Amino acid sequence: MKTQINIACGNSSLHNPPESIDPNSRKRKLIGLPREMMKEELAKAGLPLEQINMRVAQLWNWIYVRGATGFPEMMSLSKTVRSTLNQHFTLTRPEIVNRQISTDGTRKWLLRTQGDGTENSSPGDPFVDFECVFIPEAKRGTLCLSSQVGCTLNCSFCYTGTQRLVRNLTSAEIVGQIMVARDEIGEWPGVPRTTEGPLPDTERMITNIVLMGMGEPLYNFENTQTAMNIAADNAGLNFSKRRITLSTSGVAPKIPLWGAETDSMLAISLHATRDSLRDILVPINKKYPIETLLAACRSYPGLGNARRITFEYVMLKDVNDSDEDAKALVKLLAGIPAKINLIPFNSWPGSGYDCPQSERIEKFAQIINKAGYASPVRAPRGRDIMAACGQLKSESEKSHNRNHKKHESIPESGKEQQQ
């Protein structure tokens, strides 16, 4: 099913839009606000200062533990407080415009969100669209989050890389993906689980978060950091930091900083063992070559056998899948506590690449295993709905291209991402 998408790009602040305003209601969004900012907003709304800490604790519980979608249901708050909150704030999530469930149970949602209505979108065209994926297994469930609409990195094997960057997602839009997923599968207390498709046979169904969807999360550092701090808050969504993994294509200077400020797990989209090939597969390598990238990895805070870096390696037939490539990979990662995820290439229209035969992938894995590295071969999930690794791409690009002539120049804040 094709969905009509409407978006527009503004001519300033493209990559760091304000995330405070719902353009229809002009109400402040509470989802995605850190606690201190929520306190400030409640004070601006006129709530008594001596009540602010208590109200934030109540709201945090209602929003992130109970999954409240509106203020009238918050019966532990007085009618007057609920009325004030409803007047000034909103709990809107991204809207689902398309749902797909794979034959293997993988779910993909095409989400639509309203822009800020000021700098980031035209008044009559405030929508952007992006994708989010949930991968259920027997005893765990992984939610793959997007951090940007589109991408600037142009990795040649990745479908998302063929979509131009529209803008960063706000912290509200990143956290909102978790809220939508929990809504959809029925993971809030007292809400029946969905009976549609298989789900993990566990009390908690979303156990892991991976920032491996659309975009480069380290190019949206502050919003992604805020969102993951909210996800890890033990009085709310309560995800273990060891179950949150950020995947980067190699923004080397920001890797140690991310580890120091979030304490999450790290994955590196490596895919090649020599600069000449990685320059083609992952063009950011021209700016941060392999030696620079691995130096940043070695500086990742807390790195050790209990906290290994995952190196992602997409297997491309006759490109990076030889025995020599496997041996070079082992040599390259020597001394780094690591796990190597081998990812069979997931095809997409016009990719120009093929996936190696399973025997070739297994031989590659054997060489790595023999050297002492765990090298699981990632089972493709959601291929039939284009939800597998490297296949995410919303239809936002069509509308972006329609509006591109109106905004020919790239804001200064976005130029670094295209270098």
Q: What separation in angstroms does the CA of 341 have from each of 293, 335, 337, 378?
A: 18, 17, 13, 7
Alpha helices in 106-254 (DSSP H): 171-185, 221-232
Closest alpha carbon to 210 in 169, 262, 245, 160? 245
- CA distances 64 to 179, 184, 234, 279, 414, Å, are 8, 15, 10, 42, 32
Whether 389 is a known active-site residue: answer yes
* 109: amino acid identity, one letter: W
Task: Let me know if 151 is a catalytic residue.
Answer: no
CA angle 254, 321, 268 (to 5 degrees): 15
Single out the catalytic residue among 144, 158, 355, 389: 389
Other CB atoms within 10 Å distance of the CB of residue 201: 10
DSSP 24-92: TT-PEE-TT--HHHHHHHHHHTT--GGGHHHHHHHHHHHHHTS---SSTT-TTS-HHHHHHHHHHEE-P
Given 131, 137, 395, 397, the catalytic residue: 131
Would you please indicate which residues are annotated as catalytic (active-site) residues? 131, 389
